[in-house]
Structure 1
Amino acid sequence: MEFLKELGIADKNLGTSTGSNWINTTGSVINSYSPVDGNLIGSVVETDKAGYEEVIQSAAAAFIEWRTWPAPKRGEIVRQIGEALRAKKSALGQLVSYEMGKSLQEGLGEVQEMIDICDFAVGLSRQLYGLSMHSERPGHRMYEQWHPLGIVGVISAFNFPVAVWAWNSMLAWVCGDVCIWKPSEKVPLCSIACQNIVNEVFTRNLVPEGVSTIVNGGRELGEWLASDTRIPLISATGSTRMGKAVGAAVGARLGKSILELGGNNAIIISSEADLDMALIGAVFGAVGTAGQRCTSTRRLIIHDSVYDAFRDKLVNAYNQLRIGDPLDQHNHVGPLIDRDAVRQYQESIEKCKQEGGNFIVEGGVLEGDGYESGCYVKPCIAEVKNHFAIVQHETFAPILYLIRYSNIDEAISFQNDVPQGLSSAIMTLNLREAEQFLSQAGSDCGIANVNIGTSGAEIGGAFGGEKETGGGRESGSDAWKAYMRRQTNTINYTHKLPLAQGIKFDI
């Protein structure tokens, strides 16, 4: 495949990099099979302990120099990365689609997110502002400034194999940090491609070796990162179970963490919604990336008066979905990431039926021509109660739950009554309902939308959620502050030394 050659992906790849230097390690081999057709794309050698130590030492040495580069100069490097990504957008988008299984449009969209965050970070490099404050003591000046933390560990998930790394690394780099990236072992080749792109830019600009590093491996490698006192910040994206383990390990050493964990996202369909517009948001949110986004729509909370009409629209739309090769842009839905995900999908359907769920669009695994990988499933819809145990759980698959409500207070209560708190939405033309949904008594999620779905966040806003979603924030707004340490400074330019609070101390 031409896009593999363009991105420098070989049949066998080293998975450990201190930058432009790829390290031979003695780790096991990770084989990357495409969920699209089941074919082996390539292999990556895992990072062993010696390779990990070499990466850490390289990153620590690079930080000493990198932090002294002026932030706008670091921003210029990120600008060039954005240009390099523009040149490789088609190839990288195809790799994302083929290795992960999302549609080509979504693969290209993910690369566009990388480009967008580069643009954002370039501007940010001239806006790392601190505040100035008035001192209570005469002849004193107070202000705060922000300094880089050091090494940032980035643990990313399979469903966004490149964008989440970019959200973290581009901001961290303009802030003066260096990054160690541990991608999901399910999509390791995407990390090799990204490192190859970055290496070209860094080499051309004499960026210190170690500013961008990669380690590949499984759970044990993540544990090394989380427990390493030399890494002041860990940004981890994945399941709530994984996040609790990472958070506990980082917290035990008083490190900092950014946790982007599970979602159980709902759209409220009001009696005053534009049902045609709501249909687009609901269907894309539920079946986009085959339901494997942390912002995927899991629940539709629908008003009694429009329930039947909207249910019928959904069933009709689902009957028109085309499931197949995600690189074929005629298809709406690609495969799940692997057969383990298929098994979990089947188990979730069975649990839902056992609790009394009524499937109005049946699920199932697809077989035959074009489905040889065994990873293609049917998006399905079940009528349920919000308190069902399976509904309270995040199912990473295209299973959509329908729930009735009778008034807006009940709808918001249903929306909030799950352990997760990432994304939420309401479809309504009623201003009062919209404002109540966005108020202190409304959605308890980190993201709350009106008349758009739960999925598809823009990089300008801070991304993240509350409760079991972890509380972290990435990407836009002032999320950059998580990658830096705040320092308060007071300067006395007088000939006296008055103490704060009027304290007297005479010698």
Structure 2
Amino acid sequence: MSLYIRVLPLVQSDKLLRMTAKAFKMDLKNLSFLHNKAYVNGEWVSAKSGKTFNVLNPATGELIGDVPDMDLQDVQVAIKAAHDAFPSWSSITAKERGILLRKWYDLMEKNAEEIAKIVTLEAGKPLAESKGEVAYGNSFVDWFAEEARRIHGEVLQSPIKSKEMVLIKQPIGVAALITPWNFPQAMITRKAGAALAAGCTCVIKPAEDTPFTALALCDLAAQAGIPKGVINVVTSDRPNAPTVGKELCESPLIAGLSFTGSTEVGKLLYQQCASGIKRVGLELGGNAPFIVFNSADIDKAVDGAIASKFRNCGQTCVSANRFLIQDGIFDKFVEKLKERMINLKLGNGIQSDVNQGPLINKAQVNKVEGIVKDAVDKGATVVCGGQRATEIGEQFYQPTLLTNIKTDMLCYLEEIFGPVAVCIKFSSEDEAVTISNCTKRGLAGYFYSNDVTQVWRVAKKMEVGMVGVNEGIISSAEAAFGGIKESGIGREGSHHGIEEFVYVKYICFGNLQ
């Protein structure tokens, strides 16, 4: 369980080291790559204002450390660094970029356990779950290291003998990447891996709740030999986030934006990017249905429900939000789900037996509590849970199972983003599909059925970008991740992920005869 990697001098404050050592009960000499500076143009830097903000452990409320609270001037410097680095980075061969990405991947694999501990420290995930995220996140750099050499063009059949026509793909330029707190490692690698493979340079704005993971990845990228200016990370607190985000959308030096977060913020960023007609990739909120038909294997469906709903304490964009259970198995499913839920162990993620961590911040706790209260006030039945788990910590909420759900309840209409499962009874396939699609969101959906004809029929009818059939965990580097309707634009992962960061150039050669 040693924690070792090269520590850059004058980057880590004694306070940061002490707080982290306390959290993991470790010797300071074994602590590594926790940086309390931003990373711009290959240097560890403070905000020009000198301001910082605190980052807290959501499980304990204790201070982890502080990082620069950067503003407009700081982000402009980072954008300029990425812009200056773009000509040289985009001009090296795809093979060379792939080799550097492979070195970055190898370092992240070598230090996967250490990265996972940082994720647990600032995001609150159980350590086993953080290790899973890191493996998942690393897989994108592995994938795109190889995809770099598969960015193919086309030779067209010219209609005129004296002309030859080809299409080539070129990197768009500087990519702004704004990433969320719920997957602080994987959401960076999923975006940056594709962008760097394509030949783009990056300015990354991590969530204010989870900046240390992003900074750790920069340390490893530098060790891998990725040149200065190619990857830049700017950190800012909530008050400065709108200004920083606006500049990442509107700067003439930025070619495109990739954002993962709420639909509301995504719409704002989309509007801001319109002024410069930027390339935009948006992975936004969901309201995932989880349908269980009478023909389903109930035990497998319950396994899938637990995996989909309670990963990261329900704080994932593809988390099951509405459980639609057919009337023939409704009671049996609810009872089995309850049995599994009451055995979930809440606590600090560094404890090996914990499988449910805290919600990320107090605002999220208040939101989940309000959604449950609204449901109860309107007649919902609390099968289990239904309250804060204050005996464990201020940001813990009991895994909660609700039935007798009505269409005017917030839990029916909104993405919960917490450990609350709502079970809705239905009678027919058409009714289930109608309920499933009665939302403006369309990210992921799940259903369980052993009827082969129903499987194909329902998968096609669900208005989502991704469908899990008899499966609750669907994400993979090889798959195209993304939604429809108000859940976003574009795809991440797979070979389609590269397309977000390249444009097609048509070249016509004339007078050849």
d(CA) in 1 for partners of 2:73, 2:205: 16
| Contact kept? 1:27, 1:45, Cα under 8 Å | yes
For structure 2, the residue ranges without an aligned partner over 5 or more in a row are 17-34
| Contact kept? 1:133, 1:143, Cα under 8 Å | yes
| Contact kept? 1:27, 1:48, Cα under 8 Å | no
Would the alpha carbon gap of residues 130 and 355 (structure 1) be closer, same or farther in structure 2, given more than 3 Å must change? Answer: farther
Q: Does 1:18 find its partner at 2:40?
A: yes
Would the alpha carbon gap of residues 330 and 24 (structure 1) be closer, same or farther in structure 2, given more than 3 Å must change? Answer: closer
- 2:230 matched residue in structure 1: 211
Would the alpha carbon gap of residues 399 and 236 (structure 1) be closer, same or farther in structure 2, given more than 3 Å must change? Answer: same
| Contact kept? 1:82, 1:114, Cα under 8 Å | no
Q: What letter corresponds to residue 394 of structure 1 in structure 2? A: E
Q: What letter corresponds to residue 437 of structure 2 in structure 1? A: N
Match of 1:130 among 146, 150, 153: 153
Deviations 1:477-500 (CA, angstroms, capped at 9, x unpaired) = 3221110111112222534xxxxx
1:14 Cα offset (Å): 4.6
Counterparts of 1:185-196 in structure 2 under 5 Å? 185-196=208-219
Deviations 1:357-387 (CA, angstroms, capped at 9, x unpaired) = 222123211133xx24x11110101121345
- 1:434 matched residue in structure 2: 455
- 1:403 matched residue in structure 2: 424
Deviations 1:271-316 (CA, angstroms, capped at 9, x unpaired) = 0001010001101211110110111111111100010111111111
Q: Does 1:382 find its partner at 2:402?
A: yes
Q: What letter corresponds to residue 193 of structure 2 in structure 1? A: M
For structure 1, the residue ranges without an aligned partner over 5 or more in a row are 496-507
- 1:269 matched residue in structure 2: 292
- 1:298 matched residue in structure 2: 321
Q: What letter corresponds to residue 338 of structure 1 in structure 2? A: N
Deviating more after overlay: 138-147 vs 93-102: 138-147
| Contact kept? 2:58, 2:359, Cα under 8 Å | yes
Number of residue pairs matched by the alignment: 485
1:5 Cα offset (Å): 7.5
1:240 Cα offset (Å): 0.9
- 1:502 matched residue in structure 2: none
d(CA) in 1 for partners of 2:7, 2:343: 35
Q: Does 1:141 find its partner at 2:161?
A: no
d(CA) in 2 for partners of 1:387, 1:448: 26
Q: Does 1:88 find its partner at 2:117?
A: no
d(CA) in 1 for partners of 2:337, 2:407: 19
- SS of equivalent residue, structure 1 residue 119: helix
- What is the percentage of aligned positions where both structures have the same residue? 25
- 2:222 matched residue in structure 1: 199
d(CA) in 1 for partners of 2:222, 2:41: 6
d(CA) in 2 for partners of 1:489, 1:55: 33
| Contact kept? 1:142, 1:490, Cα under 8 Å | yes
Would the alpha carbon gap of residues 275 and 405 (structure 1) be closer, same or farther in structure 2, given more than 3 Å must change? Answer: same
- 1:320 matched residue in structure 2: 343
Q: What letter corresponds to residue 420 of structure 2 in structure 1? A: I
Q: Does 1:486 find its partner at 2:504?
A: yes
Deviations 1:105-155 (CA, angstroms, capped at 9, x unpaired) = 221111112221122112111100112221111132222110011100000
Would the alpha carbon gap of residues 48 and 334 (structure 1) be closer, same or farther in structure 2, given more than 3 Å must change? Answer: same
d(CA) in 1 for partners of 2:50, 2:2: 29
Q: Does 1:241 find its partner at 2:264?
A: yes
Deviations 1:11-37 (CA, angstroms, capped at 9, x unpaired) = 465543224212232153121110122
Match of 2:122 among 99, 104, 126: 99
Deviating more after overlay: 232-241 vs 1-10: 1-10
| Contact kept? 2:38, 2:215, Cα under 8 Å | no
Q: What letter corresponds to residue 43 of structure 1 in structure 2? A: D
Q: Tell me the TM-score normalised to structure 1 length.
A: 0.92
- 1:34 matched residue in structure 2: 57
d(CA) in 1 for partners of 2:437, 2:7: 43
Deviations 1:192-240 (CA, angstroms, capped at 9, x unpaired) = 11111111112xxxx4320010111123211221222211111111111
| Contact kept? 2:445, 2:466, Cα under 8 Å | yes
Match of 1:58 among 69, 81, 85: 81
d(CA) in 1 for partners of 2:50, 2:412: 40
- 1:423 matched residue in structure 2: 444
1:246 Cα offset (Å): 0.5
| Contact kept? 1:366, 1:378, Cα under 8 Å | yes
- 1:392 matched residue in structure 2: 413
Q: Tell me the TM-score normalised to structure 2 length.
A: 0.91
d(CA) in 2 for partners of 1:469, 1:186: 23
